[in-house]
């Protein structure tokens, strides 16, 4: 997601910028980006979808236990 936004805008996009644009704490964004299987809520997913202008399947993946 971030890489696509960087490509579209022709510049680096930071977690701090995403945090400011979504209202999601930077620490939460870091966990989502770096911890495979990190569990979050639908509000966070909705904010990310809105910010990046993508559907849910672009920001989330179902992992089998």
Q: Is 65 a member of any domain? A: no
Q: Is 63 a member of any domain? A: no
Q: Flag whether pLDDT at 12 surpasses 90.
A: no
Residue 47 to residue 24: CA distance in whole angstroms = 8
Residue 29: the pLDDT is 92
Residue position matching structure tokens 């992992």: 63
Which residues constitute the domain of residue 31?
2-55
Q: Tokens standing for 63?
A: 């992992």
Tell me how many domains the chain contains.
Answer: 1
Residue 60 to residue 12: CA distance in whole angstroms = 22
Q: Express each pLDDT in 19-53 by its tens digit.
A: 999 999 999 999 988 898 899 999 999 999 999 88
Res. 65 pLDDT band, cuts 50 70 90: confident
Residue 13: the pLDDT is 81
Model pTM? 0.81
Q: Is 41 a member of any domain? A: yes
Domain with residue 11: its CATH number is: 1.10.260
Tell me if 11 sits within 8 A of 21, measured CB to CB.
Answer: no
Q: Longest C-alpha distance within the chain, in Å?
A: 38
Residue 61 to residue 36: CA distance in whole angstroms = 10
């Amino acid at each position: 997601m971030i890489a696509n936004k960087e490509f579209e805008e022709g510049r680096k996009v930071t977690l701090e910028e995403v945090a400011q644009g979504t209202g999601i704490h930077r620490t939460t964004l870091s966990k989502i980006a770096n911890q495979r299987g990190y569990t979050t809520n639908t509000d966070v997913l909705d904010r990310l979808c809105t910010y990046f202008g993508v559907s849910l399947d672009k920001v989330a993946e179902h992992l089998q236990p």
